[in-house]
């Protein structure tokens, strides 16, 4: 099962810049789409980099898909955690989009045939089939972002981390992304989405983790997270548009997402 467990994890950057102090983060997630939300500087990206061994905790244990991260190399973890960085330029270094997306599975020494199928599939689903031979840096930011997402897909890992996937994406692309997350969830993967886009969270993530200044403030269903308006505002977040509108219209229970909003208005009429 692609599950993920953090036990009393503390972490500080060199120079004693503490992100997660004692008693440390304890968190358990299962397959499905989980949003990781919180203010700039809350520790969201740091947390995700602990999952694939890019950063190592000061104390505590992390187990991903049954594997203790402390005993694995970053290369070994890459097969378990596909990762799309927030800034694509931190990640992209191959000469073509195809090679970029194929880099992970090739490095994992997967059979050429399987790599070819995975890459083709990932490019297709990310709308990049026409760009296979393009140099990643000739693409605009939103498309470079899609290349990182395609790379995470092609790794066929049980856990996928998407850091700010909606950044710079237009309306149509967000719809495509939502469908992609759903299909990953349907194939029983654990998708962790770091984002400030709360409308996207409302549409695509059934569970939410709220992080504030290095402390987990909430873990649970997305619906209940946004029902607690006080907690959301304290965490420096906002309500999804559908929830805010539902509240103003006096809908009970408070709708989260377009589907819930339309059901609420349907039952009122």
Partner 1 sequence: MTAALTMRGVRYRYPDTTDYVLDGIDIVVQPGEWLGVVGATNAGKSTFCYAAMGLATEFFHGRLIGEIEVLGTEVRRQTVIERSTRVGMLFQNPFTQVSGARERVDDEVAFGPENHGLEPALVKARVAEALQQVGLSELRDRHPLDLSGGQLQRLALASLLAMHPELLLLDEPTSQLDPGGTKELFEALSRLHAAGVTIVMVEQKLEAVAELCDRVVALAQGRILADGTPARVFNDAAVQQQVGAPIYVRLAESVGLPSPWPTTFETAVRAFNA
First-to-final CA distance of the chain: 43
Contact 229, 247 (CB under 8 A): yes
List the one residue from 10, 61, 224, 241 that touches partner 1 (CB under 8 A): 241
> Which part of the chain contacts partner 1 (CB under 8 A), choosing from 58-66, 107-115, 152-160, 260-268?
260-268
Q: Is 176 in the site for partner 1 (CB under 8 A)?
A: no
List the one residue from 24, 38, 104, 165 that touches partner 1 (CB under 8 A): 38
> Which part of the chain contacts partner 1 (CB under 8 A), choosing from 3-11, 70-78, 135-143, 210-218?
135-143
List the one residue from 28, 124, 170, 188 that touches partner 1 (CB under 8 A): 170
Report whether the peptide linkage leading into residue 253 is cis, meaning its omega lies within 30 degrees of zero.
Answer: yes
- Closest approach, Cβ 162 to partner 1, in A, equals 16
Residue nearer to partner 1 on the CB measure, 65 or 227: 227
Query: How many Cβ atoms sit within 10 Å of the Cβ of residue 141?
Result: 13
Query: How many Cβ atoms sit within 10 Å of the Cβ of residue 125?
Result: 19
List the one residue from 98, 103, 226, 261 that touches partner 1 (CB under 8 A): 261
Q: Which helix (H) or strand (E) holds 210?
A: strand 207-212
Contact 153, 125 (CB under 8 A): yes
Q: Is 262 in the site for partner 1 (CB under 8 A)?
A: yes
- Closest approach, Cβ 5 to partner 1, in A, equals 27
- Strands in 4-13's sheet, in edge-to-edge order, are 17-29, 4-13, 59-64, 67-68
Q: Is 179 in the site for partner 1 (CB under 8 A)?
A: no
Residue 201's contacts (CB-CB under 8 Å, 6 or more residues apart) are 35, 37, 193, 195, 208, 222, 240
List the one residue from 97, 199, 201, 205 that touches partner 1 (CB under 8 A): 199
List the one residue from 167, 215, 219, 231 that touches partner 1 (CB under 8 A): 167
List the one residue from 7, 8, 32, 39 that touches partner 1 (CB under 8 A): 39
Q: Can you read off the two tokens belonging to residue 142?
A: 């939103």
Q: Is 265 in the site for partner 1 (CB under 8 A)?
A: yes
CA 180, CA 201: separation in Å to the nearest integer? 14
- Closest approach, Cβ 238 to partner 1, in A, equals 4
- Residue that has been written with the tokens 């090679």 in this structure: 99
Q: Is 55 in the site for partner 1 (CB under 8 A)?
A: no
Nearest alpha-carbon partner for 211 in 230, 189, 232, 227? 232
Q: Can you give the binding site for partner 1, defined by CB under 8 A?
A: 38-41, 86-87, 140-143, 167-173, 196, 198-199, 236-238, 241-242, 244-245, 248-249, 258, 261-262, 265-266
């Amino acid at each position: 099962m692609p599950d993920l467990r953090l036990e009393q994890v503390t972490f500080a950057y060199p120079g004693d810049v503490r992100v997660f102090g004692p008693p440390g983060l304890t968190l358990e997630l299962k397959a499905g789409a989980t949003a990781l939300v919180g203010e700039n500087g809350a520790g969201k990206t740091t947390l995700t980099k602990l999952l694939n061994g890019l950063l190592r905790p000061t104390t505590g244990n992390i187990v991903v898909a049954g594997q203790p991260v402390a005993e694995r190399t970053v290369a070994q973890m890459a097969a378990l955690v596909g990762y799309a960085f927030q800034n694509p330029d931190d990640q992209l270094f191959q000469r073509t989009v195809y090679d970029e997306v194929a880099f992970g599975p090739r490095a994992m020494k997967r059979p050429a045939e399987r790599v070819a199928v995975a890459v083709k599939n990932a490019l297709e689903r990310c709308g990049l089939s026409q760009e296979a031979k393009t140099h990643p840096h000739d693409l605009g930011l939103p498309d470079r972002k899609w290349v990182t997402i395609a790379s995470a897909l092609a790794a066929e890992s049980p856990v996928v981390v998407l850091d700010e996937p909606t950044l710079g994406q237009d309306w149509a692309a967000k719809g495509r992304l939502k469908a992609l997350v759903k299909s990953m969830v349907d194939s029983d993967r654990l998708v962790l989405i770091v984002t400030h886009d709360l409308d996207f969270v409302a549409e695509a993530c059934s569970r939410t983790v709220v992080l504030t200044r290095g402390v987990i403030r909430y873990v649970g269903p997305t619906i209940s997270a946004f029902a607690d308006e006080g907690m959301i505002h304290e965490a420096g977040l906002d309500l999804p548009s559908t929830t805010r509108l539902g509240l103003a219209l006096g809908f009970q229970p408070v709708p989260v997402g377009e589907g819930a909003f339309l059901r609420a208005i349907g039952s009122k009429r």
